[in-house]
């Protein structure tokens, strides 16, 4: 099964087995909820509680009620199985988007990287004949075609 990286456990919180996860995963509400399973070191752990505290996603797992029981998880990457994420039709994971081609008029490009410019603004680094940066939430992106795995864009003057 394919796994999707959602964050990293950076520390514990309190003495009751709660862990702090640092995550910039776009669809947190689709993975952080009681009963869902997170994967750490190829082993599944079921979430018993979830809350947000400052910039962290705070999670406790079923069967872990003490800080000493979760210390082995420190600094570990956290994943979720891809097929357990229920995305809406207009939502797409960055990992999938990286496999899409980019079409602009008669040119075809590839997405080299996706990075965050700010909390809510993703940027696509696209390679045509030259490299172009395209904000994800911009009118330049006309359509994301999941069936044909392509992003249709219309670049502004000077970018082509």
Q: Which fold has domain 3-84?
A: Elongation Factor Tu (Ef-tu); domain 3 (2.40.30)
How far is it, in rounded angstroms, from Cα 99 to Cα 48? 34
Average pLDDT score over the chain:
92
Q: pTM of whole model > 0.85?
A: no
Q: Please answer whether residues 112 and 65 qualify as being in contact, where contact means their C-beta atoms are separated by less than 8 angstroms.
A: no
SS3 59: strand
Which pLDDT score is estimated for 106? 84
Other CB atoms within 10 Å distance of the CB of residue 99: 9
For 143-154, the pLDDT digits (tens) are 999 889 999 999
Q: How confident is the model at residue 114 (pLDDT cuts 50, 70, 90)?
A: very high
Provide the pLDDT confidence category of residue 116 given band limits of 50, 70 and 90: confident
pLDDT at res. 46: 98
Residues 23-41: tens digit of each pLDDT: 989 899 999 999 999 999 9
Which CATH number applies to 94-153?
A: 2.30.30.240
The full set of domain ranges for the chain reads 3-84, 94-153
Q: Percentage of the chain surpassing pLDDT 90?
A: 74
Mean local confidence (pLDDT), 125-154: 91
What is d(CA 9, CA 18) in angstroms, rounded to the nearest whole number? 10
* 67 has a pLDDT exceeding 80: yes
| Residue tagged 């952080």 (tokens) | 32
CB-based contact 20:88 (threshold 8 Å)? no
């Amino acid at each position: 099964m394919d796994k999707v990286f959602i964050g990293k456990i950076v520390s514990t919180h309190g003495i009751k087995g709660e862990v702090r996860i640092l995550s910039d995963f776009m669809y947190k509400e689709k993975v952080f909820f009681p009963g869902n399973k997170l994967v750490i070191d190829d082993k599944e752990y079921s979430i018993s509680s979830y809350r947000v505290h400052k910039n962290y996603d705070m999670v406790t797992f079923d069967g872990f009620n003490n800080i000493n029981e979760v210390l082995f998880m420190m600094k570990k990457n956290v994943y979720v199985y891809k097929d357990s994420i229920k995305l809406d039709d207009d939502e797409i994971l960055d990992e999938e988007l990286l496999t899409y081609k980019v079409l602009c008029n008669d040119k075809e490009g590839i997405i080299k990287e996706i990075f965050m410019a700010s909390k809510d603004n993703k940027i696509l680094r696209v390679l045509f004949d030259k490299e172009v940066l395209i904000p994800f939430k911009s009118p330049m992106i006309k359509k994301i075609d999941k069936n044909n795995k392509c992003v249709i864009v219309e670049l502004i003057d000077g970018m082509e």
